Amino acid sequence: MSSIPLPTPAELSITPRDRRFGRHTATPRLWHGGRVEATAIYNALSSTFPKGEAFFVESVRAFRDAAPPKLAEEIKGFTTQEAIHSREHDAFNKRAADAGYDLSKLEAQVEKRLAITRGKPPIVSLAATMALEHFTAILAHQLLANPRHLQGADKETADLWRWHAVEEIEHKGVAYDTWLYATRNWPRGKRWKVKAKVMLYVTRNFVVDRTAGSLELMRQDGVTGLRAWSRLLWYLWIRPGMFRKIAGAWLKFFLPGFHPWNEDDRHLLGAYAAIAAVTPEPKRKVRRAA
C-alpha cells in the first residue's frame, strides 16, 4: 500500500466478537417499543443482511490474495465479522418469522438485486460493497451516537443492533481500502465517476427497497395506505429521522479525498463494552470465516 496513504488508523484492530443474541429469550413481534413502523424498518433492514453480507464477504475476499499483508489481515477480520452478522441476523429473521412475519418478498428482492451485480465483473461487486459499507457505517454511527433510535426497544434486540453497529464502524475502511488498492492504477477521474455512479445506484435501490419492504411488513400488521406512508416517512425523515440525520455523512462520500476514517468515531465503540458488561462473552474460540 506504499503508493496510497490511507487514513485508516494504524493501530486499529478488527476484532470479531462471536456473540449470540435472542437464543434464550422470546422476541416480541413488535419488539421496537410496540411501534409498527419502527419494528418494520429494522426488520426490513435485517431481512437484507444474511444474503447481503454474504455478498460483501465474497466481493471483498475476491481481492484478498492480491492485497498487501496488512490489508489482507483486515479483510480477514472484516469477512469474519460479516459472517457472524449474517448468522445472527438469520437467527433474528427466524424469530421475526416465528412472530408471524412473512419476509419472503423482501428476501426475494435482495436476491434479485444481488443477481444483477453478480452478473458483472468482480470490481463492480467490490464497488457496490464499498458504497454499501459507507452506508452501513453512517447508519451505525447514527444508531450509536443517538440513543433515541433504539429508545423503547426490547433490550436483547437493541443489543444485537448495537453490537452489529460497533463492528460496522470498526471495519468501515476495509472495503474502501480494498477498492483503493484494486483501482490504484486508475485515473482519479475514472475512479471518482465509477464510485459516484455506484453510490447513487445503491442509494436509490436502498431507499426504494427498504421503504417498500417496511410498507409490506406494516401491511402485515394491518397498517396500510396513507397512514402507513405518513408514519413511516415521519419515522425515517423527521423523528427520530435516521435518513435525514445521515444525509450530511452520505454527501461526504462524493468529496475529493473522502475516506471513511476521515471521521474517527472510535469513541462509539465503547457501546460494546456496555453490552458486554451485562452479557458475558462466550468462552468458545472465534471461528475465522476466511
Give the interface segment with Fe ion, choosing from 100-108, 109-117, 161-169, 217-225 (CB under 5 A).
161-169
Judging by beta carbons within 10 Å of its beta carbon (0-12, 13-18, 19+), is residue 258 exposed, middle or buried? middle
Amino acid code (one letter) for 135: F
* Nearest in space to 6 (alpha carbons), one of 267, 264, 254, 259: 259
Which string of DSSP letters, residue by residue, matches 88-143? HHHHHHHHHHHTT---HHHHHHHHHHHHHHHTS-HHHHHHHHHHHHHHHHHHHHHH
Size of the site for Fe ion (CB under 5 A): 4
Q: Closer to Fe ion at the Cβ: 218 or 253?
A: 253
Tell me whether residue 31 or residue 78 sits nearer to Fe ion (CB atom): 78
76 makes contact with Fe ion (CB under 5 A): no
Shorter beta-carbon distance to Fe ion: residue 162 or 231: 162
Of the two residues 139 and 232, which places its CB atom closer to Fe ion in the complex? 139
CA distance 216 to 96: 14
Instruction: State the binding string over 35-64 for Fe ion (x if CB under 5 A, else -).
Output: ------------------x-----------
Rounded to 10°, the helix 188-220/104-118 angle is 160
Residue 141 in contact with Fe ion, rule: CB under 5 A: no
d(Cα 200, Cα 178) in Å, to the nearest integer?
20
Q: Does 85 bind Fe ion (CB under 5 A)?
A: yes
Listed ranges 78-86, 245-253, 260-268, 274-282: which one lies at the site for Fe ion (CB under 5 A): 78-86
Nearer to Fe ion, 85 or 195 (CB): 85
Site for Fe ion, rule CB under 5 A: 53, 82, 85, 168
